[in-house]
Chain A
Amino acid sequence: MAPGFGPRERGALLAGRAAGQVVRRLGRGGGTALPGLIAGRLAPTLIESAAAQLGHGVVTVTGTNGKTTTAHLLAAIARGAGLRPLANRSGSNLERGIVSSLVDAVDPGGSVHDAARRLGVFEIDEAHWPLLAPRLRPRVALFLNLFRDQLDRYGEVDSIAAAWRAAVSRPGAVPTLVLNVDDPSVAQLGEDTRGEVIGFGIEDPAAALPAPEHATDARFCRCGATYEYDAIYMGHVGLWRCRGCERRRPAPIVSAERVHLGAEETQFDLVIGERRVPVAIPLAGLYSVYNALAAAAGAHALGLPIEATARALADSGPAFGRQERFHVEGRTVRLLLAKNPTGLNEVLRALEAAWPPLTLLAMLNDGIQDGRDVSWIYDADVERLAGLVGKLVVSGRRAEDLALRFALAGIEPAAVDTDTRVALQTALLATPPGGRLEVVATYTAMLEVRELLASMSGAGHYWEHDE
């Protein structure tokens, strides 16, 4: 029997498993959370005992944007290198999502199958990382970025930064931190750890924005002064330096150079120390470069070879709902998740690289997971798409708010409908046969429209999507 698994844990496992099977059999979703919720309640130490068995340890991925894609890419790299990644699925990134993935991976005696080859790759909600990291004891922790997101749920951005700082400064907290050096809030965590730090960043001022964006979520250094930038890649992320003290962007160990942003794919040189390998990924947008780079830096921290990284990145597909493509009624549909100002700005920027005129379905929900406050759409630069959109259909539970936002940006919707099914049909009809429909949606809106797209195109349910 596995260490740490007493009768209590075993009972909890069985209960969690049974719940997952019931949910799936009823067709009520993938049961990605409920088994964890039940097992976690019954055996609160299940995380610790199962995670400790993973032969290659645990990597955590946290930050506001890019967690799912980064974890997806890192798992693909690990798989290519012969490991068996164990990951939480589909953005189920709170405690229960992690317990659910562990429940699925252990046998009734509590032993993880094939434990020696296993690597935990867990994306963790940024507000929950300080609570979960001590229980998962990661070897490597990736920090991607910190943007404003769901302020109605999490309070202020500053409080998350402070909680990260406190958590990584505990002695022995995480042996290796992988940090985005371009984000000053993340880069400065390097001051708080006694562990190893591997920085990643983009070294290509040609990929910078022509002017700073309004959505900028870190303005003040720890010393209190403001930052200045030689180049801004997105939001407050770029080649920064403090006006008041010696702090500046540390030189990255893992970097992307010669970035080329295409409509469908992205190319860059992956540079690690003396090594340089050209990489092409089938994902658009500079944010995809950051996600790929973070995964590459994570792989480097795990000691995986750069060739395996480049190969896996080139072969990888999109993660669930993140630039996934569907073929529906003779049209190609690309689904883009956008859930906060910087995320939406980056998606809009990726759309600028696509062929105009765009046919666009934009969806705004206001569920707990989207953020109940829809104000944030005014912080994104929707104006960017003015002149590029041929047909716009707006949907989601707050369709009227989003329609107004587009109208104020000079982009008049052709149709507004809160019913997802009707809006999708209208948008498909507005798309020329053989043409492309771009769907931009907040989290729960993405789940709804993806379910429709999956059934129309024959793609799988979300719980069947990942490994």
Chain B
Amino acid sequence: MNDLARTIRVVTLYPDVMSIYADRGNLIALRARCRQYGIGCEVTAVGIGDGLPADADLVLIGGGQDQEQRRIAADLAARGVRLRDWAEDDVAMLTICGGFQLFGHFYRTAEGEELPGVGIFDVTTVAPAPGAPRCIGDVLADAGDLGEVVGFENHGGRTYLGPHARPFARMRHGFGNNGDDGTEGAVYREAIGTYLHGSLLPKNPAVTDRLILAALRHRYGPGVKLETLPPDPYAERAHRAAAAVARRRGRPNP
């Protein structure tokens, strides 16, 4: 099939509320990479109370402050069935930080309030006791066949993987899900959950390519191929620079 004829349909959830740490950079990078491939990229923004489109190939959600998470939690939970169906149907998903937490089972705030999640990832997140430090810093992690991923984390909540969860990456530098077990994020089918801002996709083109391929396959069938282009040289240099920063000052992991 001619690439020019191919289009992926992207849904971004609460882009105005859930993008405290510039997660819209992910959409900027996604659009740019699709342009390089000659793939169309149709984006639908879905806010509180808006209807979800009938179908989607890729779902994006970013992070927000506690107040913002509290605000979207009920609206998001009401879409849980649809989102879980999409995940089972191999829709690609990229959920960051607060969005990742709410794609798990629940997020328990410092006040003890339990915000229900949509349960796509078998993970739970709890805010630490008041006064406990936030997990803040540069990250370098090993994401298996995606190679090294780089970014910046800034979260209070500690996330723990359940028996059915697979981590997105293994920490080299930084805190990761909880600062203890060396895991970062989670993966379920084509859905990725992670704490990495930076923004993530601009500096990690391998992740962008993975999401685009999964979105194409969702739309056009599992046999679809993507002739992977070399990463943009600016992306590659920014990736290397961020990796060097994380090696120099990121919290080391054994």
A residues adjacent to B (C-beta < 8 A): 148, 151-152, 155-158, 214, 216, 219-220, 341, 366, 372-379, 398-401, 403-405, 407-408, 416
Contacts and interface: CB of A to CB of B under 8 A. Distances in A.
B152 A375 contact: yes
A151 B21 contact: yes
Contacts of A404: 202-203, 232, 234-235, 237-238
B152 A372 contact: yes
Nearest to A217: B20
Q: How large is the interface on B (under 10, 10 to 19, 20 to 34, 35 or more residues)?
A: 35 or more
A166 B250 CA distance: 35
Contact of B234 (A216, A398, A403): A403
A375 B241 contact: no
Given A158-B65, A373-B154, A374-B152, A152 B136 contact: yes
B197 A373 contact: yes
A372 B238 contact: no
Contacts of A148: 20
7 contacts: A152-B137, A158-B66, A372-B138, A376-B22, A378-B25, A401-B242, A404-B238
B16 interface: yes
B67 interface: yes
Contacts of A375: 21-22, 25, 152, 197-199
B247 interface: no
B71 A220 contact: yes
Contacts of A366: 245
Contact of B24 (A155, A374, A378, A407): A378
B46 interface: no
A458 to B, nearest CB: 35
Given A158-B67, A401-B238, A379 B202 contact: no
A232 to B, nearest CB: 13
Interface string B26-58: 001100100000000000000000000000000
A376 B149 CA distance: 19
B19 interface: yes
B197 A407 contact: no
A155 B134 contact: yes
B143 interface: no
Contact of A407 (B22, B198, B232): B232
Contacts of B237: 400, 403-404, 416
A407 B231 CA distance: 13
A155 B23 CA distance: 17
Nearest to B134: A155
B191 to A, nearest CB: 22
A408 B241 CA distance: 17
B84 interface: no
Nearest to B244: A400
A440 B205 CA distance: 27
Contact of A400 (B32, B68, B138, B238): B238
A401 B71 contact: no
B17 A214 contact: no
A405 B67 contact: no
A366 B24 CA distance: 20
A407 B19 contact: no
Q: Max chain A CB contacts within 10 Å: which of B24, B137, B238?
A: B238
A219 B67 CA distance: 11
Contacts of B245: 366, 398
Contacts of A216: 16
Contacts of A156: 20, 65-66
Given A220-B71, A372-B152, A373-B197, A378 B202 contact: yes
A377 B203 contact: no
